[in-house]
Structure 1
Amino acid sequence: MNSAGLLTEAFDRIQEAVHAAVEGLSPDALNARVDDGANTIAWLVWHLSRVQDDHVSDAAGTEQVWFAQDWASRFELPLAEGSTGYGHSSEEVASVQVSSAELLLGYYDAVHEQSIGFIGGLDGRALDRIVDEAWSPPVTLGVRLISVIADDLQHAGQAAFVRGSLERR
């Protein structure tokens, strides 16, 4: 398996986990908090999608799906248009309300499609390209993609945990 195949497999597993956590849920379940300070499934999946969209589009030199396909207006969130959820307060987490599982999965799937399109053209040498010099050491494309995979899988797992908690209530 080459680098592109390995990365595609990882991103496909994120997609499977996201769909398993979201499919069939009502807006009430997606927007529910297990306690006053907890993240919702809606926020977790929106956030992991926004981070993937932001990071992969930056590395690919493309516009974020959030803007290019006008997902920002479809979600109608009371947040800064470029918000990714990083550093959100409890109140900001609560403000991420979605109207349907289809909306949430539609955005995630559009991000996934753009990510897979970019990753499919990569080879091992491309992964050594520096994509962020703000860190020491500078961040390579390979490290950035692994960071996205790790973050997304953690949040997808958290969404699955929240779903299980809500279903046991």
Structure 2
Amino acid sequence: MNTAGVLADAFERIREAVHTAVDGLRPEDLNARLDEGANSISWLVWHLTRVQDDHVADAAGAEQVWLSQGWASRFGLPFADEATGYGHSSDQVAEVRVESAELLLDYYDAVHERSVAFVRGLDGRALERVVDENWSPPVTLGVRLVSVLTDDLQHAGQAAFVRGVLERR
């Protein structure tokens, strides 16, 4: 398996984890918080999808799916369209509420398709391209993609944990 195949497989595994955490949940479960400082499944999946969308679009030189396909208006969140959830306060987390699992998963799947299409076209040399010079050392595309993958897996795991707690209640 080449580099592109490894990256695509990793993104596929995130997709499986996201769908397992979200499929079939009612809005009250998606939006539930285990306590007033906790993240809901809605926020976790929205956030991991927004970060993936933002970072992959930037690396690909493309517009975010959130903006180009009208997801910002479909979600109707009280944030700037560019918001990804990074640095959100507990009150802002509470404002991310969705009316269906399908909305979350449809947006996730749209971003997933874009991400996999992008990484399938990469070779090892492409991963060495610097995508962010604001860090020391500068961030390469490979490092950025690994960062997205690990962040997404952590948040998908957190969403699965919240689902498990809610199901045992």
Alignment TM class, shorter chain as reference: over 0.9
CA deviation map 1:50-74 (0-9, x unaligned): 0000000000000000000000000
Q: TM-score if structure 1 supplies the norm length?
A: 0.99
Distance in 2 between residues matched to 1:36 and 1:86, nearest whole Å:
18
Paired residue type of 1:57 = A
The 5-angstrom pairing of residues 125-136 of structure 1 reads 125-136=125-136
Distance 1:60 1:132 in 2: 13
Task: State the match for 2:86 in structure 1.
Answer: 86
Gaps of 5+ in 2: none
Cα deviations by residue, 1:16-69 (Å, 9 ceiling, x for unpaired): 000000000000000000111000000000000000000000000000000000
Give matches, 1:34-53, under 5 Å: 34-53=34-53
SS in 1 for 2:125: helix
Q: What is the rounded CA distance, in whole Å, between the counterparts of 2:133 and 2:12 in structure 1?
A: 28
Task: Flag structure 1 segments of 5+ consecutive residues without an equivalent.
Answer: none
**Counterpart in 1 of 2:62?**
62
Distance 1:164 1:38 in 2: 15
Q: What's the % identity of the aligned pairs?
A: 74
Tell me the matched-pair count. 169
The Cα of 1:80 is off from its aligned counterpart by 1.4
| RMSD of Structure 2 on Structure 1 (CA) | 0.4
For residues 129-152 of structure 1, give each alpha carbon's deviation from its aligned partner in whole angstroms, at most 9, with x where no partner exists.
000001100000000000000000
The structural deviation recorded for 1:79 is 1.2
The one-letter amino acid paired with 2:65 is V
Alignment-mate amino acid for residue 167 of structure 2 = E
TM-score by length of 2: 0.99
